[in-house]
Structure 1
Amino acid sequence: MTARIELPRAILDSRVIVIARRLAPDRLERVAEVLTRNRIGVIEVTMDADDAPDLIAGLGGSGLLVGAGTVRSMADAERAVAAGASFLVLPHTDASIVGWAVWRQVPVVPGALTPTEVVAAWDLGVSAVKLFPAHIPGPAGIRALRGPFPDIPLIPTGGVTGDNAADFLAAGAVAVGIGSWLTGATEPLEERAARLASLATSR
C-alpha cells in the first residue's frame, strides 16, 4: 500500500484554510496580501470557476500554500495540479480522484459527513477528511467523532466563522475551512484575518 501523504505542515500551523470561491483576480490578490501580513499561510481556490487554474498559478509567488477546492472531477484535479496546486479538497469522496492524487503524491482531503463516510474516506489513504457541511454536526459532532476515530484528522468546513472556529478546534479538529465569512466582498477583511490569525496560538 502507498504510504499516506501527511497533511502539509502549513495547514497544521495555520489551523485555517481560507477558501477563495469565485473571487475576482484583484480581490484574490487583496486576500492573499492580507493573509500573508497576518501569517495565515494557506489558501484554497475553488475549481468551480473557469479561471481557477489561472488564479492558482498566479498565487505561485505569494508565499502561501495554495490548494484547489471543490474538486469534483478528474479533470478538475488534473487542471489544478498542473496549475501548481499543492493539495486538493473535495466536497465529496470519489475513489478515482483520491486514488489519482495519492498516486501523484498530492495531499488530498475528501468530504464526508457520517462516521461511515469518514472511515471510508480515510481508508482510501487520504491526508485528512473534510467534515462537510460542518454546521450539521457542529463542534459537538467533532468531539463525538474523535472518540472512536482519534487517528483521523478532521477539517470541518461549511458554516465555520470566526465566532465558532475556536470551538471546532477545541473539539479536536486539526484545522477549519473558512470562506465567505472572511473573503466576502463586503466583509472587513483585515479585521477578520487578524481574528483568525490568533487561532494558530490558541492550542
Structure 2
Amino acid sequence: MPITLKEAMSQMPLVAILRGVTPAEVLDVADVLVTAGYRVIEVPLNSPSPYESIKLLSYKYGNDVIIGAGTVVTKEQVDLVEAAGGRIIISPHADAELIRYSKAKDLYCVPGFFTPSDAYAAINAGADSLKLFPADAFGPKGLKAMSVVLPDIDILPVGGVSPDTMQAFLDSGAKGFGLGSGLFKAGMTISQVQQNANAYVDGYRATLT
C-alpha cells in the first residue's frame, strides 16, 4: 500500500518544495531528500516541465513518498497532476471549488491561507491540512492567536522558515513546515541541497528533545 499523508508527516513533517527544479535533476535532488528522511515532495507548477518531474518522482518513489504539485490554481492543472501520478495538490490560496474537485479525485489537498476566513473555507471544503503562507509575515505570535479559533487541523507554515524558527512555530501550534528556497532553489548543487536538507532535519529533531 502506498504511504498515506498521515504516515508521511508522522515520519518527517517537512514538505520539500522544489521550485525551479528540472526533470534532468529532479531524481538526484529527490535521492538526497529521501535519504535525509523527507516523505513529501512538491514540484511547483511554475517550474520547468513540472508534470514530467512529477511523473519521474511518482514512478520511482510513489509508494514511499507523497509526490505532488504546488501552485495549483485550476481544475485542469489538478487533472494533469493526477495523470502524472501526483497524489497531493498544494495551492497558494483557499479555493473551495478546487479543494472539492481535488478531494473528489481522492487526492490530498493542502491549500494556503492567511486569515481565519480562508482557513474555515478550506476546512469546510475538505482540506487535509493548511499551508500558512507567507509564514514569515504572520509570525509565530500571529499563528498562536489564530490557532485559538481554528478547529483541530494540521497547519504548516511556509515562507521564510529556518531551522532556528521551527521551535517558535511549533510552540504556537504548527504541525510541520513547507521548505522552499532555504532548502532548494534553481542553480544549487546537490551537495548544497544535501547540506540544507540535513540542517532542516536536524533543526526539527532538535525540537523533539
Same fold (TM over 0.5): yes
C-alpha separation between the residues in 1 aligned to 2:74 and 2:159?
A: 20
Letter in 2 for 1:164: T
Shift of 1:14: 1.0
Shift of 1:150: 4.7
- CA 1:75–1:59 in structure 2 vs 1: closer, same or farther (change >3 Å)? same
> What is the root-mean-square deviation of aligned Cα atoms in Å?
1.9
Q: Which residue, out of 187, 190, 194, partners 1:190? A: 194
- CA 1:19–1:113 in structure 2 vs 1: closer, same or farther (change >3 Å)? same
In structure 1, what is the equivalent of residue 138 of structure 2? Answer: 137
Identity %: 31
Shift of 1:165: 2.8
Structure 1 residues without counterparts, runs of 5 or longer? 1-5
Higher helix share: 2
C-alpha separation between the residues in 1 aligned to 2:48 and 2:161?
A: 26
Q: Which residue, out of 184, 192, 207, partners 1:202? A: 207
In structure 1, what is the equivalent of residue 173 of structure 2? Answer: 172
Q: Pairwise mapping of residues 143-154 of structure 1 onto structure 2 (< 5 A)?
A: 143-154=144-155
Q: TM-score, normalised by structure 2?
A: 0.86
Count residues in correspondence.
198
Contact preservation (8 Å) 1:169, 1:176: no
Contact preservation (8 Å) 1:46, 1:69: yes
SS in structure 2 at match of 1:137: helix
Output one character per residue of 1:110-157: Cα deviation in whole Å (capped at 9) or x when no partner.
111011211121111110111111112111122122222251221111
Q: Pairwise mapping of residues 1-203 of structure 1 onto structure 2 (< 5 A)?
A: 7-49=5-47, 51-60=49-58, 61-62=60-61, 63-184=64-185, 185-186=187-188, 188-198=192-202, 199-200=204-205, 202-203=207-208
C-alpha separation between the residues in 2 aligned to 1:201 and 1:150?
A: 27
Letter in 2 for 1:70: T
C-alpha separation between the residues in 1 aligned to 2:85 and 2:205?
A: 25
Higher RCO, 1 vs 2 (CA within 8 Å, ≥6 residues apart): 1
Structure 2 residues without counterparts, runs of 5 or longer? none
Q: TM-score, normalised by structure 1?
A: 0.89
Letter in 1 for 2:9: I
Contact preservation (8 Å) 1:56, 1:83: yes
C-alpha separation between the residues in 1 aligned to 2:48 and 2:193?
A: 25
C-alpha separation between the residues in 2 aligned to 1:102 and 1:7?
A: 13
Letter in 1 for 2:140: P
